[in-house]
Structure formats: C-alpha cells, structure tokens
Amino acid sequence: MSTKKSLLIVCNTPSANTQALADATVAGASHHDIENVDVVFRSALQATSDDVLSCDGIIVGTTENFGYMSGLIKDFFERIYYPCIEHTEGLPYALYIRAGIDGQGTLTGVQKIITGLRWRPVQEPIVLQGDYQDEFTKQCEELGMSVAAGLDANIF
C-alpha cells in the first residue's frame, strides 16, 4: 500500500489562460523535491466525491462568472457536498480564482461552501484579477508547490 499522500487539484479551464493556471498549479505541486505526494488533477466535470474522500489535500481553481464561481465548480461542490460532509472535516485546502475584474463574489461563495464542509485553509486564497499577466502562472505554481510541500512535510 502506498504511504504517499494525495493532493487533488480541481479546476475549470475555459480558456488558454486558465489552462495555463491549472498546468502551473500541477507543475508546482509536482516539483521533483516533493517525494511523498501524488498529484491528482481532475477537471471540475470529472472530479467525484471519491476523489475528495481519498485525498489528503485539495486545491480548487475557478473562474468568476456572473459574479460567482463557475457553474462547473458549483456543480462539483453540489455533487460532493453531502457525500463528503461527514468525512472530510479538517481537509487542508487552497483556492485560486481567475476573475476579469472582481473575484469577491466567488471568494465569498466558495468560502461559504467550504465553511459548511469544515475544510481547513492552508494558504491565503489567491484572486488573479484584471488583464491576464504571466505572473499569475508563477503564483499558481507557488501555490501548488507550497501545498504539496506542506503535505510532504506533514505540516498540514
């Protein structure tokens, strides 16, 4: 049986920019110095409650659409909420949001759901706002790396 921990990354990626953010998050989490963490990427549509039940940490990445999280990420939370609520208390999580201009409605919405799930934030949420910048991928890479490193070192 593997003693490795599992880091689940669940994102919606409707554009080349948001795909680059997801890829950077996975790349950071897969850093070669991090030996004891398996990185599992799932698109928001693919991700299941079994994926959440079997992970040791989760990073969620969503766009802001119409002032709220993307429909696909909302659907993800709707599908996993009740199967997970009694079993994932304290799950370490991190969040990034890609928003054209705002991001606050998404931040509030996701945090409300996660408060219900009683997951535990291990990084400040990142809101990547305004015109797309190459720096955003660096932020996602660092987010992935720091969550994976924390799991690897048993800090979380």
Ligand X SMILES: Cc1cc2nc3c(=O)[nH]c(=O)nc-3n(C[C@H](O)[C@H](O)[C@H](O)COP(=O)(O)O)c2cc1C
Asked whether position 123 contacts ligand X by CB under 6 A, the answer is: no
Among 8, 57, 60, 63, binds ligand X (CB under 6 A): 63
Asked whether position 104 contacts ligand X by CB under 6 A, the answer is: no
Which stretch in 42-50, 94-102, 119-127, 139-147 sits in contact with ligand X by CB under 6 A? 94-102
Per DSSP bridges, beta strands 57-65 and 68-69 are antiparallel
Asked whether position 132 contacts ligand X by CB under 6 A, the answer is: yes
Q: Where are the alpha helices (H) located in 16-134, listed in sequence order? A: 16-29, 49-53, 71-85, 104-117
Angle at 18 between CA 142 and CA 5, to 5 degrees: 45
Asked whether position 25 contacts ligand X by CB under 6 A, the answer is: no
Tell me how far apart the alpha carbons of residues 29 and 24 are, in angstroms, rounded to a whole number: 9
Asked whether position 15 contacts ligand X by CB under 6 A, the answer is: yes
Among 64, 69, 94, 147, binds ligand X (CB under 6 A): 64
Q: Sort 12 into a burial class: Cβ within 10 Å, 0-12 / 13-18 / 19+.
A: buried
Among 35, 101, 134, 154, binds ligand X (CB under 6 A): 101
Among 83, 102, 127, 139, binds ligand X (CB under 6 A): 102
Which stretch in 3-11, 31-39, 50-58, 64-72 sits in contact with ligand X by CB under 6 A? 64-72
State the first-to-last Cα distance of the chain, in angstroms, to the nearest integer: 21
